[in-house]
Amino acid sequence: MSESESDHTIELNYDNWYLWDHHIISTILRKNAYLAFDPQPVDPRAQQLVNPPSTTPSVTITPQPTSEELRTYCEELKEWKTANNIAAGIILGAISDGLQHVIDSKDPAKVMYDKLKAEVAEVVKQSSNRIANWIRIELINKQFKDKPTMDAFEKHVTFYRSKNATLNAVGAGIDDTLLA
């Protein structure tokens, strides 16, 4: 695959989460930046709250890490920041204008990804509810107007089964043995 083909970007909108997700994850992996989706390294000098098992109150301590622990932490943090910057750049470059408001460009890449996923899921859920309501109204308004023959009845039931299958696809189907 040529370099220009591998750098083709799929822009996220509300209709293509799964395609975009696959593209973004594979691009981040190709750029060796998936480390950004791991938690940020913890500073060994950070204060820790110690809760002794007895009735004595909690104590906050500040550990004194060795120079080797500090060096390791600094290397891990530098590597994580580099991976995060690459992953964040990939994500920021692959979202539509309609989704720019969802994220803050200063957030870590994993936070951006999670916010985008939650936003798209919420909009899809709302859209699914609107579709389900529209289909329910269509079912309520449907009337059997044909001559009462077996073929006409089968056509009528097929219509209901078709609409119920659509409702089942969005998790709002009608539980009825006739439509099963």
Tell me if 176 is assigned to some domain: no
State the pLDDT at residue 28: 95
pTM as predicted: 0.63
Total number of domains in the chain: 1
Tell me if 154 is assigned to some domain: no
Residue pLDDT, tens place only, 29-68 = 999 999 999 888 888 877 666 666 666 666 666 778 888 9
Could you please report the per-residue DSSP string of 68-123?
HHHHHHHHHHHHHHHHHHHHHHHHHTTB-GGGGGG--TTS-HHHHHHHHHHHHHHH
Whole-angstrom distance, CA of residue 60 vs CA of residue 49: 4
Tell me if 94 is assigned to some domain: yes
Tell me if 12 is assigned to some domain: yes
Tell me if 172 is assigned to some domain: no
Tell me if 98 is assigned to some domain: yes
Whole-angstrom distance, CA of residue 127 vs CA of residue 114: 20
Q: Which amino acid is at 132?
A: A
Which residue range is the domain that position 11 belongs to? Answer: 3-141
H helix or E strand, kind and range, residue 48? strand 48-50
Tell me if 108 is assigned to some domain: yes
Whole-angstrom distance, CA of residue 18 vs CA of residue 112: 16
Tell me if 56 is assigned to some domain: yes
Range of 114-123, 126-135, 168-177 with top mean pLDDT:
114-123
